[in-house]
Chain A
Amino acid sequence: MKNEWPLWEVFIRGQHGMSHRHVGSLHAPDAEMAIKNGRDVYTRRNEGLSIWVVESNHIAASSPSDKGPLYEPSESKVYRHPTFFDIPDEVGAM
């Protein structure tokens, strides 16, 4: 029996007063879990943000147009940033 979790579209508003932006999709059994999953997958827990989720099949679309993904690495996990690692200039691009 197919029992796949539905697909949700995730929209996030960051701290800077911008509108919610589409950041991607995910699967979840219901809206509450979709919000939690959105937080875990697409924000890595930044404070002060707001998440909207919409079940994908409820979205009516003209032609898909999608701004670039919002990318907000967590503030406390500095090692997620490439610049955390001190790579000597001689080593070249990485």
Chain B
Amino acid sequence: MYAQMVQSTGKGVKSSEDMTPEERAFQARIDAGEKIEPKDWMPPAYRKNLIRQIGQHAHSEIVGQLPEGNWITRAPTLERKAILLAKVQDEAGHGLYLYCAAETLGVSRDDLTEMLLDGRMKYSSIFNYPTLNWSDIGAVGWLVDGAAIINQVPLQRTSFGPYARAMVRVCKEESFHARQGFDAIRKMADGTPAQKRMAQDSLNRLWFPALMMFGPPDKDSPHSAQSMAWKIKMNTNDELRQKFVDQTVPQIEFLGLDLPDSGIQWNEEHGHYDYTDPDWSEFFDVLKGNGPCNVDRLAARNKAWDDGKWVRDGLMAHAKKKAAAKVAAE
């Protein structure tokens, strides 16, 4: 999902006998549904994995501002502009909450940021796709935030307290995101022939990238087991992907749009929709940096960071002067 390919540092799940007493007590707390808090003892690998996962998640929120931000100055009405701006602003907030959660593990936000900017850390593949027409704004809210919600709702129960609490706040806001997206694309699907064409185009373009958000198929995700034992991953990739397809297909039909995949078909026996797998070679290409927008996205974030340095430093210099003056006066 937003943390699609977090390489677990664990070497598979240890059996209870192989664990140290500390590890065993730690796992028992997690199994009992207790929350782990920053000052509690935790296995170094748990800490490391969480930093990677929460960091990737935070980066995804921040880079995720860009494709939608691309349309803020072109929103077609004042109300749509306000809604979109409020939505993209929320994503900045999500990034902020998540960085704060990661910081409780002993890493600084600036360090995480620098790791994003020089490519040492990743963000979700979905944000390397472009937004090309106004309907994409609807489709992103509906499909991308919709997929994010499916992943993030269970994460409210994740074992690490600060992460779980950040996800509670995030999930409340995500519901607004998905609904505004659906509302926007619905207007397009019900609109003029040109609008309807835009809506279909967005759905066709964003459908498979949205499916990729859940990460590679379970058979190719060797690192999931430890994360699931630690409850920092709550469901498998394929489970969540199926849930997304099952939820979304009737919505596509409601909109009166054509299905974006001729393989979508109700499977009576399984009680689920069958669907065509995305092209996983494309997914791995995007992760490697070869998506349509990887270079532009990272360049935009680097520019904001570099151009902003004098501002961050200037305000800090002022704060130090003020503090020194205060001490001198005392």
Contact = CB atoms under 8 A, between A and B. Distances in A.
Is the interface on chain B under 10, 10 to 19, 20 to 34, or 35 or more residues? 35 or more
A18 interface: no
Nearest to B145: A94
Given A24-B169, A66-B165, A90-B254, A29 B40 contact: no
A40 B303 CA distance: 24
Interface string B155-189: 00000011001001100110110111011000000
Contact of B247 (A79, A81, A90, A92): A92
B178 A94 contact: yes
Given A61-B39, A94-B146, A71 B79 contact: no
B251 A91 contact: yes
Interface stretch (B49-57, B65-73, B309-317): B309-317
Contact of A5 (B96, B161, B183, B316): B316
Given A3-B312, A25-B103, A26-B96, A94 B179 contact: yes
A4 B247 contact: no
Given A25-B100, A82-B176, A77 B86 contact: yes
A67 B184 CA distance: 35
Nearest to A30: B319
Contacts of B79: 79
A69 B183 contact: no
24 contacts: A3-B312, A4-B108, A5-B312, A5-B316, A7-B103, A26-B96, A30-B323, A41-B96, A64-B37, A64-B38, A66-B161, A66-B162, A66-B165, A71-B172, A79-B79, A81-B176, A84-B180, A85-B176, A85-B183, A86-B183, A90-B254, A91-B182, A91-B251, A94-B179
Interface of B: 37-40, 79, 82-83, 86, 90, 93, 96-97, 100, 103-104, 108-110, 146, 161-162, 165, 168-169, 172-173, 175-176, 178-180, 182-183, 247, 250-251, 254, 312-313, 315-316, 318-319, 322-323
